Structure 1
Amino acid sequence: MKMEENLYNMQEISSYREGNRLEAKKAKGGIPNSMWETYSSFANTDGGIILLGVDEKKDGSFEVSGVQNADQMLKDFWNMVNNRQKINVNLLVEKDVTVEDYEGKKIISIRVPRADRYLRPVYVGQDPMSGSYRRNGEGDYHCSHEEVSAMYRDAYQLTQDRKLLKHRDMKVFCMDTVHSYRNIFNISHINHVWSKLDDEEFLGKIGAIGYDADEGKFYPTTAGLLMFGYENEILSEYPQYFLDYQDHRDPSIRWVDRLASSTGEWSGNVFDFFFAVANKLSHDLPRPFKLEGMMRVDDTPLHKAVREALLNTLVNADYYGRRGVVIKKYPDGYTFENPGDFRIGVKEAMSGGVSDPRNAILFKMFALIDLGERAGSGIPTIIDGWKSSYGEQPTWEDTHNPDRTILRLHCKNLSEVLFEKASGKDTVTEDTGDKTMDISAINPETGDKSAINNNSGNKKDNQTATNAEISDKTGDKMQMILDYIAKNGEVKTSDIMQAFGLKSSQSRYYLSSLVEQGLIEACGSNKNRTYKAK
């Protein structure tokens, strides 16, 4: 990762403190051994600057002491950094090491870049397990065996999900999941030549199984196991595998809703988790009414951002790592956590243009059904979609020991903003742009596309009111509620309250009005009353 030129200002050096990317060394007697620990830690984290000839005072501020014979120290440094007995790799070029002058005293500035994943771990001496360091706050710490192993996994040219499982066969796959995937694939690729293949041939084409030339047999790949396997089969290859969705919108209870891969009530694989959770996450998001030709389009930049955040979490997870994938929904936003740190620098990833998923075959499988942004544009899609909708910047955090990536999509009073944004934009517009399918309208079991781009379902003529019939703001809100009921089936008053951020009295008013207009019907007594589209 290219480091910022303005990471520090020499004229303001006395005001600085040591931090995650800045380290001061007095270096009075020459190159200190501790400098190589910092070199390793910066290279294995996010890069940083080492200042030789600068002392840290008791209050934490810097004092320039200067180095003696800077030219000789430079020569010694270059000899050491190129000595494989001292450090395993030299990441520096001449411009990274400079001599600065501060009030007549010499300082050596060493800019250490973040090491490319192919070069990590960067370690001191001959033993990566004892010589690898990382940066945490203002100090260097020894990497655990787990962290070093994770860096070696990421260093391979081929991604970890390409591995052939030679002790397994097709029985590891949940065929219901495979057929759900094929149904959606057939929708995305009408009359595709692969649609005529049998299941084994099809799985070979998408990378779920691979051919072993020595044995002349096909075996499941780790990507196929993750995507389509049963949870108990996945655990035999990935003992730490765990997928967890938690809805924490009600602080009075532990969670409103939860879906975990370990329950044994469903397959527990990545594909089924993605579709179930994508729908749960997008459940409350506004769907402005717009047309593409004569078809309704409900896929917005906001929906794409949330969907991409979920997908990005799943395809970049290190499933050998601890704590699993955890998705949380709060009243003020979402968090997406996965084992494994960024394979490229965070700023580089945010800029886009570089695609380096940890599980490339898994990513390819999703891309084949029109899910996932290519060419490294996934993170910019998340940023643009969320920020344009709510004005708040998504945040990423890389933590270590164990390695973990955390994405936060935050918005104060999210439920109120969701409702106001939707009610203010629920007007008919023409659009001839992106035709990405609305996954919340797909039935993975059948691949039924009848509801795609037409969330109201349009099952009966009176089910969807026209703009002429509903034109004021109240009518707009009623149209949204009507669409919600048409999409979700039978609902309660509490569902409408939660989905649109309404009070109980407001929800009852809108539901009663829709009943009176004959657009929905009420079922059951007052206490247990539900509503459904006619």
Structure 2
Amino acid sequence: MYCFMCKVGLKSLIQICERKVIAVQDVFDISQFDEYREDNRREVKKANGGLPVSLWDTYSAFANCYGGVIILGVKEEKDGSWRTTGLQNEAKLRKDFWDTINNPKKVNINLLSDEDVKTYVVGENKDVVMVIYVPMAKREQKPVYINNDIFNGTFRRNYEGDYHCTRLQVKTMLRDQTERTMDMEVLDKVPMEDLNYETIHGYRNSHRTLKEGHPFERLNDHEYLRSIGAAAISEEDGQLHPTAAGMLMFGNEYNIVRHFPEYFLDYREELDSTIRWTDRLHSSSGEWSGNVCDFYFRVYNKLIKDIKIPFKMVGGERVDDTPVHKALREALANCLINADYHGVRGVVIRKEPDKIIFANPGYVRTGKKQMRLGGESDPRNKSLMKMFNLINIGERAGSGVPNIFNVWEDEGFIEPEIEERFDPDRTVLSLPFVKKATEKSDGKKTTEKSDRKKVTKKTQEQYEKILAFMKPDIWYKANELVEVLGVKETRTKELLRALVSDEKLEDNGATKGKRYKKR
């Protein structure tokens, strides 16, 4: 189908393309078109000699990440701008495309319909371009791979382009295909005695206190563990054995690592820059059980020890729980529930002077944007989620992360940040305890440090240097301002973030390749 736009430029073409993508995938924001060029959610290819071989790498990469748009008949110039080159034989190119994408020896799955491939005639030269909208594959469709080779033909997208997935990443996608999550596996060779019953009894006490009279209360330990998903009858010998979730939640670290060799839980307090850490707790120390349940309670108590509790009475009793406490419980549980315990680097919680960072192995199964919006729950470990829910920790409705953002907004803190990293897969949630800048009575604004004191004279001079250097309507990267300020890039980013909070600058919303400009 042709759309003849004799007087329409390339940017108008992209606006039309973007409206389609927003309607179908809700991926792009056309108002940020110029800033999105470098985040690789779109790809342009000349296609002068037919379908580019690299097209299929990009198809796989987009499908295995968040989707994207491929435009054939366009060249990217050195400065990042796009120039149309046109297509010599659009009809043949289109036929070749559909023949190839429907060939299972080339592409294992076709995610596209006729509506996802459009042809346009652009500009005064009437250059023909083809626009291909690639959706994000569903969890059960991944990995999307090419050349009938799942381990060498699976790609993902990063900020440098398409890259081959590792065997570990492919295996993670295969594990995530099924409705039965990894933690439901029955460990047929493991006796029930391998679990830590001190942890189990502590958990049962919490459950009993929170839900007095619950039907599970009268069960013996083995029946109780079976009821909550921590144990199951093996099809192999007909006996009761721990599940993977039971081992993770209630096992001892030295037993857990036999089934999850990469298992590692780590909490670090980095409150003093002069020493490596002021407090540390990790699962392999041998000083405690090292399981998920004990880690949760030990770490939560460390996280909240500096949280101020306002005086509040309900029914004649003081309430020592605040929305911030609840948000921290949700963040910690979410990190543990969605961790890929076969993934590398383990779970790491870092408490810094002005923020807490929760990092777990594994990509976001619903996608980062859906995680932020909520309403769709797809935990990586459903049995672990059930166990946390039974003691009133965690949300089943997919509303946990949005609630955290709402609490931070209500408290006046800078908005939390979700970062998804690949190779290796990792999800990072940062919760800053830095107040947004507020207006003074005279109408001027002030920027606050993490300790909420006014900025120093030196910092104010650095702010002024940034604002004086930046020209209106031009986007800058942090590294472009390093020489201007004469400080390290990390310090430059801190200054830029503060100016964004102060509404003197705005950023493009990207996690990597972030840019800033004057408001």
Equivalent position to 1:318, from 329, 340, 359: 340
The answer as to 2:332 corresponding to 1:329 is no
Taking a change above 3 Å as real, the CA distance of residues 203 and 97 of structure 1, as seen in their structure-2 partners, is same
Equivalent position to 1:193, from 215, 231, 256: 215
> Which digits, 9 at most, give the CA deviation of each residue in 1:476-522, with x for residues without a partner?
xxxxxxxxxxxxxxxxxxxxxxxxxxxxxxxxxxxxxxxxxxxxxxx
Distance 2:132 2:29 in 1: 12
Matched-pair contact (CA < 8 Å) for 2:206–2:391: yes
Matched-pair contact (CA < 8 Å) for 2:188–2:236: no
The amino acid of 1:314's aligned partner reads: L
Distance 2:301 2:331 in 1: 13
Aligned to 2:230: 208
> What pairs with 1:152-231 in structure 2 (closer than 5 Å)?
152-213=174-235, 215-231=237-253
Aligned to 1:59: 79
The answer as to 2:262 corresponding to 1:245 is no
Distance 1:245 1:414 in 2: 25
Aligned to 2:116: 96
> What pairs with 1:474-489 in structure 2 (closer than 5 Å)?
none
> Which digits, 9 at most, give the CA deviation of each residue in 1:464-487, with x for residues without a partner?
xxxxxxxxxxxxxxxxxxxxxxxx
Distance 1:165 1:5 in 2: 41
SS at match of 2:339: coil
Distance 2:282 2:27 in 1: 45
SS at match of 2:115: helix
The amino acid of 2:107's aligned partner reads: I
Unaligned runs of 5+ residues in structure 2 are 1-21, 435-447, 454-519
Matched-pair contact (CA < 8 Å) for 1:304–1:381: no
- What's the CA shift for 1:48? 1.1
The answer as to 2:50 corresponding to 1:34 is no
Matched-pair contact (CA < 8 Å) for 2:374–2:398: yes
The amino acid of 1:114's aligned partner reads: M
- What's the CA shift for 1:57? 2.0
Distance 1:338 1:200 in 2: 30
The amino acid of 1:99's aligned partner reads: T
The answer as to 2:401 corresponding to 1:387 is no
The amino acid of 1:254's aligned partner reads: R
SS at match of 1:128: coil
TM-score, normalised with respect to structure 1: 0.75
> What pairs with 1:120-159 in structure 2 (closer than 5 Å)?
120-159=142-181
The amino acid of 1:65's aligned partner reads: T
Taking a change above 3 Å as real, the CA distance of residues 82 and 7 of structure 1, as seen in their structure-2 partners, is farther
The answer as to 2:107 corresponding to 1:73 is no
TM-score, normalised with respect to structure 2: 0.77
SS at match of 1:344: coil
- Number of positions where the alignment pairs a residue of Structure 1 with one of Structure 2: 416
Q: Which moves more between the two structures, 104-113 or 159-168?
A: 104-113
Q: Which moves more between the two structures, 88-97 or 177-186?
A: 88-97
Equivalent position to 1:286, from 303, 308, 311: 308
Matched-pair contact (CA < 8 Å) for 1:159–1:360: yes
Aligned to 1:481: none
Distance 2:57 2:297 in 1: 45
Aligned to 2:65: 45
Matched-pair contact (CA < 8 Å) for 2:230–2:245: yes
The answer as to 2:429 corresponding to 1:407 is yes
The answer as to 2:360 corresponding to 1:341 is no
Equivalent position to 1:83, from 99, 103, 112: 103
Distance 2:300 2:449 in 1: 18
> Which digits, 9 at most, give the CA deviation of each residue in 1:30-77, with x for residues without a partner?
211110000001111121111100112233321111112323322222
Distance 1:182 1:5 in 2: 44
> Which digits, 9 at most, give the CA deviation of each residue in 1:105-155, with x for residues without a partner?
121111112211111111111111010011110411111111111111111
Taking a change above 3 Å as real, the CA distance of residues 9 and 105 of structure 1, as seen in their structure-2 partners, is farther
The amino acid of 1:348's aligned partner reads: Q
- What's the CA shift for 1:385? 1.4
Taking a change above 3 Å as real, the CA distance of residues 16 and 188 of structure 1, as seen in their structure-2 partners, is closer
> Which digits, 9 at most, give the CA deviation of each residue in 1:388-436, with x for residues without a partner?
2133111111111111111111233686459xxxxxxxxxxxxxxxxxx
Aligned to 1:485: none
Matched-pair contact (CA < 8 Å) for 1:43–1:115: yes
Distance 1:113 1:167 in 2: 42
The amino acid of 2:98's aligned partner reads: W
Q: Percent identity?
A: 48
Distance 1:220 1:386 in 2: 39
Matched-pair contact (CA < 8 Å) for 1:387–1:394: no
**Based on CA coordinates, which of the two structures has the bigger radius of gyration?**
1
Unaligned runs of 5+ residues in structure 1 are 419-534
The amino acid of 1:322's aligned partner reads: V
- What's the CA shift for 1:169? 0.8
The amino acid of 2:87's aligned partner reads: V
SS at match of 1:252: coil
